Structure 1
Amino acid sequence: MQYCLVTLILFISILIYFRIADHFNIIDKPNHRSAHTQITLRGGGIIFPIAFIIFCLFNINEALQNYWSFGLGLLAICTVSFIDDIKTLSNKVRLSVHLISVILLLYFTGAFALMPFWIWPILFILIIGTLNAYNFMDGINGMTGTYSLVTLSSLAYINREVIQFTDNNFIYYPILACLVFLFFNFRKKAKCFAGDVGSMGIGFWVIGLITLLIMRTGEYKYILLLSIYGMEVVLTIIERILLKENIFEAHRRHLYQLFANEKKISHLIISSVYAILQLVINVFLINFQFPIWGDILIVFIPVGTLYIGLKLNLKKEYNL
């Protein structure tokens, strides 16, 4: 009953936001990087910080005691991202807020107490890099929602069946938010896009859960729960460096962009394939025990080979 009520509140919240976004003209206009051609409401990902607020209201004592630092970090990064969706902010402002949010996230996960201080800068770079990877991959209908849903569902299974590392509701609420968001986004003509507030918000939540799991178990293999995103972004950055392109400028070199823009494959098919590939990897990670280097080789050799092969074929076919 609780989850039905939460889902209903999320539905009502996003419908209210649609009216606000329509009134204030908060829209996404296609540009040279976009894989879509129609003007669409932006910022639908505001449902993710709303989901956290609802979580706090339904679990107020636990939220105040255990989740306050995470909540401050999430709301800070979502606020600056939402403002950036409406009006472009300077990189200094965004990076400063990201840094503060990551500090709060690492405090929440206990990383400062569990990890030596010389590891902290590495954690900052990894988390901020992963947050931006989440943002880079949010380019077609369904991608952010389906991928996040697979990762969160895997974390929920681990929490229930393998090792409990957090409260179940702390995973279930963003899952419900993903389902509601996908109802409006997993369409040929999406009702809304996540915007930076959505990609950064759900990315922050997913990264927080994975970091918390790693800190509780000492198992670094759980980084691979985001391996498809990580591999695509890293290989694309390497490609752009080799081509002597500015890696900070907008582009359309991601594999999913080539499939959507050049091959004209349905966004929903592409998003589903990415989610299914990550699900297969997650099932492997959960059910088989290998050293971390073994997991990395088993995951990245076949997937990386497939990725590079598809990319080369597409570049050859379209003279890219």
Structure 2
Amino acid sequence: MTSFEILLSLLAAILAAAISALLIQATRPLLLRVALAKPNARSSHRTPTPQGAGIAVVMATLLAGGIVIVLAGSADLTVPLTVFAAGLFIAVVGFADDVRPLPVVPRLLLQAAAVAAVVFAAPGELRIVPACPVLLERALLLIAGLWFVNLVNFMDGLDLMTAAEAVPVAVAVALLGSLGHIPAATTIVAAALCGALLGFVPFNRPVAKIFLGDVGSLPIGLLLGWCLLQLALHQQFAAALLLPLYYLADATVTLLRRMARREAFWAAHRSHFYQRATDNGFSVWRVVGSVFALNVVLALLAFASVVLNSAFADIALLLAGALAVALLLRRFARPRAAKPA
């Protein structure tokens, strides 16, 4: 990436942050009337709080990212346009679910359509495992993408949690893009998403004044998933796995535990490790701070994977990342020791 393209990425982040903050400020009074999330037994908040700030975050990301991609003079806008269209589509699905919960099967089918558009928009010559038939690889990526979109939604259950996860991932992707490991359009979108989330942070810090809602968490998951897919397709699979490893572990282990207990795993619950942490005496700031710090460590491991460019190093770094994640999950799962009187 040239210095001009790096400046464009910075511009995308700054522009998205400004648009996001302004749109949240402008739409919050309306959302207070039409999209109020009332606390229930599974909630982490105690007072009715408006949701739907994701509208601002997603629009800021797409507007800032689109403007800067055009300024960058990209010759082929087919893939970014497809991703943007899929992002808008899944945001509409999320908004409909925020207003009136959709049945599980139609909701998953609509989400799958958006994920499929992103997965099959990738050039056919870009492969993760060249020996695998292309249709089989794309089908597996579709399943993985659908899970990733939903797990980002599942993990959006605590003030600042999505920002604590997505900001380090987006920054890492943008920096790796600045080193030429992924296309410029992906780099710009990652920078714009980072900026949009930073514009959202002042409104979502504990105690939150507004939530993302499904209208935000679903497209954020889709855009992050696309960025990680670009890393994997450009032969940086270990980095693509390391960056979201905390989210993958928390959501997947929780799902498997609920399935093993024959619980209705598709229903809302409070059994994610980060939720159990707050029940075990950890403050919201302590939880999101720990997740953010872990994600910085995972980002550093991802960079080491790219720099070392060795299969042996990738295995060692993935094991190190898995150990770091396991230690935090174990910490969250145990009641916090009471201070001596």
For residues 229 and 190 of structure 2, the distance between their equivalents in structure 1, rounded to whole angstroms, comes to: 13
- Aligned 1:287-302 pairs, distance under 5 A: 287-288=304-305, 289=308, 290-291=310-311, 292-302=314-324
**Cα 1:272/1:302, change in 2 over 3 Å:** closer
Aligned residue number for residue 54 of structure 2: 45
For residues 253 and 120 of structure 2, the distance between their equivalents in structure 1, rounded to whole angstroms, comes to: 31
CA contact (8 A) 2:165 2:292 kept: yes
What is the SS of the residue equivalent to 2:47?
A: coil
Letter in 1 for 2:202: F
Which deviations, in whole Å up to 9, do the C-alpha atoms of 1:262-312 show, x marking residues without a partner?
A: 41x32122112111101101101212435244333222134325524652x
Aligned residue number for residue 195 of structure 2: 176
The worse-fitting range, judged by mean Cα deviation, of 117-126 and 6-15 is: 6-15
For residues 243 and 219 of structure 1, the distance between their equivalents in structure 2, rounded to whole angstroms, comes to: 33
Q: Is 1:255 matched up with 2:273?
A: yes
CA RMSD of aligned residues (A): 2.5
For residues 20 and 297 of structure 1, the distance between their equivalents in structure 2, rounded to whole angstroms, comes to: 47
Aligned residue number for residue 234 of structure 1: 252
Letter in 2 for 1:36: H
Aligned partner (choices 91, 94, 97) of residue 84 of structure 1: 97
CA contact (8 A) 2:36 2:49 kept: yes
- Aligned 1:163-312 pairs, distance under 5 A: 163-167=181-185, 168-186=187-205, 188-217=206-235, 219-263=237-281, 265-288=282-305, 289=308, 290-291=310-311, 292-308=314-330, 310-311=332-333
For residues 287 and 164 of structure 1, the distance between their equivalents in structure 2, rounded to whole angstroms, comes to: 16
CA contact (8 A) 2:53 2:216 kept: yes
What is the SS of the residue equivalent to 1:189?
A: coil
**CA displacement at 1:28 relative to structure 2:** 0.9
**Cα 1:33/1:66, change in 2 over 3 Å:** same
The worse-fitting range, judged by mean Cα deviation, of 290-299 and 127-136 is: 290-299
What is the SS of the residue equivalent to 1:67?
A: helix
What is the SS of the residue equivalent to 2:184?
A: coil
CA contact (8 A) 2:126 2:234 kept: no
**CA displacement at 1:146 relative to structure 2:** 1.9
CA contact (8 A) 1:35 1:261 kept: no
Aligned partner (choices 308, 314, 319) of residue 335 of structure 2: 314
For residues 152 and 124 of structure 2, the distance between their equivalents in structure 1, rounded to whole angstroms, comes to: 22
**CA displacement at 1:65 relative to structure 2:** 4.0
For residues 111 and 152 of structure 1, the distance between their equivalents in structure 2, rounded to whole angstroms, comes to: 25
What is the SS of the residue equivalent to 1:217?
A: coil
Letter in 1 for 2:26: I
Aligned residue number for residue 35 of structure 1: 44
Letter in 2 for 1:96: L
What is the SS of the residue equivalent to 1:314?
A: coil
Letter in 2 for 1:27: L
**Cα 1:37/1:112, change in 2 over 3 Å:** farther
What is the SS of the residue equivalent to 1:34?
A: coil
Which structure 1 residue ranges, 5 or more long, are not aligned? none
What is the SS of the residue equivalent to 1:307?
A: helix
CA contact (8 A) 1:146 1:182 kept: no
CA contact (8 A) 1:43 1:193 kept: yes
Identity of aligned residues (%): 22
For residues 140 and 218 of structure 1, the distance between their equivalents in structure 2, rounded to whole angstroms, comes to: 31
The worse-fitting range, judged by mean Cα deviation, of 224-233 and 236-245 is: 236-245
**CA displacement at 1:43 relative to structure 2:** 0.9
The worse-fitting range, judged by mean Cα deviation, of 165-174 and 201-210 is: 165-174
For residues 15 and 137 of structure 2, the distance between their equivalents in structure 1, rounded to whole angstroms, comes to: 42
Aligned residue number for residue 104 of structure 1: 117
**Cα 1:108/1:53, change in 2 over 3 Å:** farther
CA contact (8 A) 1:109 1:211 kept: no
**CA displacement at 1:27 relative to structure 2:** 1.0
For residues 16 and 271 of structure 2, the distance between their equivalents in structure 1, rounded to whole angstroms, comes to: 39
The worse-fitting range, judged by mean Cα deviation, of 299-308 and 241-250 is: 299-308
Aligned residue number for residue 7 of structure 2: none
Which deviations, in whole Å up to 9, do the C-alpha atoms of 1:123-176 show, x marking residues without a partner?
A: 111111111111111111000012110110111111113624333422221111
Matched length: 313
